[in-house]
Structure 1
Amino acid sequence: MTKTLIPGLGWTLYGDGRTIRPGDVVAPDERLSWGRTTGIGMQHVVAMFGATFLVPLITGFPPATTLLFSGLGTILFLIITAGRVPSYLGSSFAFLAPVGASMGQYGMSGALGGIVMTGAGLFLVGLLVHLAGTRWIQVLMPPVVTGAIVALIGLNLAPAAWDNVNVEPVTATVTIVSMLLAGVLFRGLLGRLSILVGVVVGYLVAWLRGEVDFSGVGEASWFGLPDFTAPTFHIGVIGLFLPVVLVLVAENVGHVKSVALMTHRDLDPVTGRALMADGVATMFAGSGGGSGTTTYAENIGVMASSRVYSTAAYWVAGLFAIALGLLPKVGALIATVPAGVLGGAGTVLYGMIGILGVRIWVQNRVDFANPINLAVAGVPLIIAVANFTMVFGDIVFEGIALGSFAALAIHHGMSLIARLRGTDPGAQREAEGAEEQALN
């Protein structure tokens, strides 16, 4: 990599800059020709766009502000990780429930304060990982706990999806069906953009049905800064946002491991930097009115299909997102997406978030014959779906927070008691297996 004043800025040209050798990949510190790099960077913008702008629409945040901070956050991430981890930082769906709950009590500024606090918490976790490694995260949050926390966030949002679907059920149904069909009708990039395709189709139907109001687009200027809002801080939102830190840790660690696997590089030493970088980007976004950020799985698909992991493409994507954020008409157009489309998209997305938790269980072969795992998975989901709520002074703990705490407490509490009593089902099966091997 070429030495530059800004970490991660400077790349070695891969081969002739045009052709990728069979079985090879373009590494993070390499790039293709700038024309091809720009094209791939634009693909990353398209891949992140649908999910990133849905979050501010659902929460009521300004879309242009979120786009601006997602681009700035991506650039910060690339600099802090010294260009070693290719990633786009888009809006995190983990913030939807706590933002919605806090806005009802403290308004948008209070929700932004919660986002800033979440970013600070993630930064501190990243600092600890940088100093002590990731082993303690695996001990604190084994797959059964991580899967439960991810799943309960998606399921907790189900009522919010229904509220929007109920406003415009026809448009919502068309949006849902379009998203589902796009995933199986199309191949390549278009197939991976099923969310965006569904939103576009649903939007067209809503427009034909007279459900779209374009008045704000005409009033918006072509160039200018988006709307900024300063955060305010309230102790009452801590319980709402604290579980999000756990989800962001899992998402970022998973992203780094996925990129390391695909690029055949050891990225464990930079995991702490990745967590700190997302924490800084989230704090930065919350300080001005943007949505909290996370590393985006959508963009991993673009890298896997193109075999280009160059961080140069992400610089292009980040700069382009910043440019979109400085076009008020774009933000105003995004803001015209009606409730029916949001409800349809939410139905699919929230369901997918829930199943992502299940996928974590499946991929890690979680043993549900073990009553401890069964309790860790089951009890928190009911707490989240029913949205159990507890109030301690000014702090409110709702379904996501209580479910997350329950997953951790049940796992570690039951495991400790089982070990002390000698009733740990996992240990018993290991002993039985060892005895069987000895007999054979």
Structure 2
Amino acid sequence: MARRRILPGFGWSLHGDGKTIRPGDVVAPDERLSWFQTTGVGMQHVVAMFGATFLVPVITGFPPSTTLLFSGIGTLLFLVITAGRVPSYLGSSFAFLAPVGAATAQYGMGGALGGIFMAGLGLLLVGLIVHFAGPAWIQRLMPPVVTGSIVALIGLNLAPAAWDNVQEGPVTATATIVAMLVCGVLFRGLLGRLSILLGVVVGYIVAVIRNEVDFSEIGEAGWVGLPEFTTPTFHIGVIGLFIPVILVLVAENVGHVKSVGLMTKRDLDPVTGRALMADGAATMLAGTGGGSGTTTYAENIGVMASSKVYSTAAYWVAGTFAILLALVPKFGAVVNTIPDGVLGGAGTVLYGMIGILGVRIWVQNRVDFSNPINLAVAGVPLIIAIADYTITFGDVVLKGIAVGSLSALAIHHGMSAIARWRGTDAGYEDSDPEAIATPINRRDIDHLEAGGDLDDDLSGK
């Protein structure tokens, strides 16, 4: 019998003897193994999320320790709001990179934080609607052809930023790129999924050998202390920059819930709205103090798939450990010493993976590009984003990602309306409730259940 919960998302029944998982079984979200094993799995989650989570603040110039703190707090908040039904770690979202960079250049870090806060508020409101109206309307608003386009254009829009950093240390950048790519195929299981982190470590070592790292900040930092906090400022001009991020976060969260539901054989659709609200609340919290916007992490789905442990207890361990790690200033100082060459190499790989993740969404949902509507929805927004088209309405500036995302929605729904009026092909099928961006699709899950290993790179936050 399950234990009486002290608060939502806290309290678990012991799975079996607490030590073994029988073939075909999984440790459910409301169960746990022994605390020793649960702690071990929780530490795996920290390692899995770390490479991607800390790169976002380093690239954007935010304090890494602050982002890590709000990431840990956000994860615990997520577990409470979803009542412990959806195991997930909330790490830094790559979708925020471009808008944060643009907002920082125009309004400073405070303005970027204001945009993060507003994006979180928007996601929370979407979650409220989904909670009461259900998630089906999201599929109609953002079918796979639209979602794939938005995800792809975010990655491709960031290409110039990667090149700028590569030029600061081309040799180090090349070493980082090669290390990431080789680690992705050289190792299996968890190490294979840590190719981002391993590549950064190799690139950092190369940078040290080439005297590109300044260690002075590490010596000045203490061992225990609070991270640096920054208050947000609010400007109407950043709204257009962050609207596309909300669309991506919706797709990522809905996809995460669907994936976990399939893997645990539970109907989690009723908790989709809670998941969106929880991520929105965590992102708002991060925006109030200097953290990066959050999202559910596909990297941690890989850990769950390989360990068969979906217990939210492991995520309480992971979130708590992240908070404790954030309270070590010397650790944050080490992360801050990562040079531009390493960031350029990592960005080249990561931004490319984000772009191809959009293509993967098209492929796994069998988007028909012989249809002129789908072709236009995929093609036009990508050009807009790559060229960074800019539209100005008074104080509101819409740049490549915002213009491209809104174009994807407008082209799809506008052309489909005309096609329906004329009696031609509407351009998509909306009868498949699973046709949405998911970090792991049904084919992946069938492979895992057959005893396979999850070697695919699941990054692309």
Give the TM-score category using the shorter length. over 0.9
Shift of 1:236: 0.2
Q: Answer yes or no: is 1:48 the counterpart of 2:43.
A: no
C-alpha distance in 2, partners of 1:307/1:212?
40
User: In structure 2, how many angstroms separate the alpha carbons of the residues matched to 1:305 and 1:122?
Assistant: 30
Corresponding residue number in structure 1 for 2:245:
244
d(CA) in 2 for partners of 1:217, 1:425 = 59
Partner of 1:284: 285
- Cα deviations by residue, 1:214-248 (Å, 9 ceiling, x for unpaired): 10010001001000000000000000001100000
| Pairing of 1:424-439 with structure 2 (within 5 A) | 424=425
Query: Mapping of 1:95-174 within 5 angstroms?
Result: 95-174=96-175
Q: Which amino acid aligns with 1:66?
A: T
Q: Distance in 1 between matches of 2:24 and 2:183?
A: 29
Match of 1:306 in 2: 307
Cα deviations by residue, 1:384-437 (Å, 9 ceiling, x for unpaired): 000000110000000000000000000000000011111226599xxxxxxxxx
| Equivalent position amino acid for 2:134 in 1 | G
8 Å CA contact retained: 2:165, 2:340: yes
Distance 1:6 1:354 in 2: 40
Which residue number in structure 1 is paired with residue 385 of structure 2? Answer: 384
Report the secondary structure of 1:8's partner residue.
Answer: coil
Give the whole-Å Cα distance in 2 for the aligned partners of 1:166 and 1:387.
Answer: 21
Task: Specify the alignment match of 1:262 in structure 2.
Answer: 263
Distance 2:289 2:234 in 1: 13
Q: Deviations over 1:48-90 (max 9, x none)?
A: 0000000000000000000000000000000000000000000
Write the deviation string for residues 82-141 of structure 1: whole angstroms up to 9, x where unpaired: 000000000000000000000011000000000000000000000000000011100000
Question: Secondary structure at 1:239's aligned position in 2?
Answer: helix
1:405 matched to 2:400? The reply is: no
- 1:391 match: secondary structure: strand
Match of 2:204 in 1: 203
2:225 matched residue in structure 1: 224
Cα RMSD between the aligned structures?
Answer: 1.0
Which residue of structure 1 aligns with residue 89 of structure 2? 88
Q: Are 2:373 and 2:427, in contact at CA under 8 Å, matched by a contact in 1?
A: no
Structure 2: which 5+ residue stretches go unaligned? 430-461
Q: How far off its partner does 1:187 sit?
A: 1.1
> Could you list the runs of 4 or more consecutive aligned residues of structure 1 that deviate by over 4 angstroms after TM superposition?
425-428
Would you say the 8 A contact 2:92–2:295 is kept in 1?
yes
Counterparts of 1:300 and 1:314 in 2: how far apart (Å)? 12
**Amino acid in the other structure paired with 2:194:** L
TM-superposed deviation, 1:5? 2.9
Which residue of structure 2 aligns with residue 432 of structure 1?
none
Separation (CA, whole Å) in 2 of partners of 1:387 and 1:269: 38
Q: CA-to-partner distance for each residue in 1:367-386, whole Å, 9 max, x for gaps?
A: 00000000000000000000
Q: What secondary structure sits across from 2:289 in the alignment?
A: coil
Q: Is the 2:420–2:426 contact (alpha carbons within 8 Å) kept by the matching residues of 1?
A: no
Indicate how the Cα distance of structure 1 residues 344 and 427 shifts in structure 2: closer, same or farther if over 3 A, else same: closer
Question: Within 2, Cα distance between the matches of 1:223 and 1:340?
Answer: 29
Q: Does 1:331 align with 2:332?
A: yes
Name the CA distance, whole Å, in 2 between partners of 1:419 and 1:118: 33
| Cα distance in 2, alignment partners of residues 316 and 268 from structure 1 | 26
Q: In structure 1, what is the Cα distance between the partners aligned to 2:110 and 2:293?
A: 13
Letter in 1 for 2:273: G
Amino acid at match of 1:387: D
Whether 1:25 and 2:26 are equivalent positions in the alignment is yes
User: How big is the shift at 1:3?
Assistant: 1.7
Aligned to 2:63: 62
Matching of residues 337-356 of structure 1 within 5 Å:
337-356=338-357
Distance in 2 between residues matched to 1:421 and 1:413, nearest whole Å: 12
2: CA distance between counterparts of 1:212 and 1:324? 22
Alignment of 1:159-198 (within 5 A): 159-198=160-199
Deviation digits for residues 142-166 of structure 1, max 9, x if unmatched? 0000000000000000000000001
- Which residue is 2:447 aligned to? none
Partner of 2:376: 375
- Give, in whole Å, the separation in 1 of the partners of 2:242 and 2:190: 33
Residue 359 of structure 1 corresponds to 360
Identity among equivalent positions (%) equals 80
The alpha-carbon deviation at position 23 of structure 1 amounts to: 1.1
Classify the secondary structure of the residue corresponding to 1:47: helix
SS of the residue aligned with 1:330?
A: helix
- The structural deviation recorded for 1:6 is 1.5
After TM superposition, the score normalised by the length of structure 1 is: 0.96
Following superposition, the deviation at residue 357 of structure 1 comes to: 0.4
TM-score, length of structure 2 as denominator length? 0.92
Partner-residue secondary structure (3-state), 1:90: strand
CA distance in 2, matches of 1:425, 1:124: 30
CA distance in 1, matches of 2:96, 2:4: 37
Quick one: distance in 1 between partners of 2:31 and 2:395? 51
How far 1:8 sits from its partner (Å)? 1.3
Match of 1:431 in 2: none
Q: What is the DSSP-based 3-state SS (H/G/I as helix, E as strand, rest coil) of the residue aligned with 1:224? A: coil
Matched, 1:318 2:323: no
Deviations 1:278-332 (A, max 9, x none): 0000000000000000000000000000000000000000000000111000100
Match of 2:432 in 1: none
Cα distance, 1:2 vs structure 2: 1.7
Q: What amino acid does structure 1 have at the position aligned with 2:408? A: A
1:341-380 CA deviation, whole Å, 9 max, x = no partner? Answer: 1000000000000001000000100000000000000000
SS at match of 1:84: coil
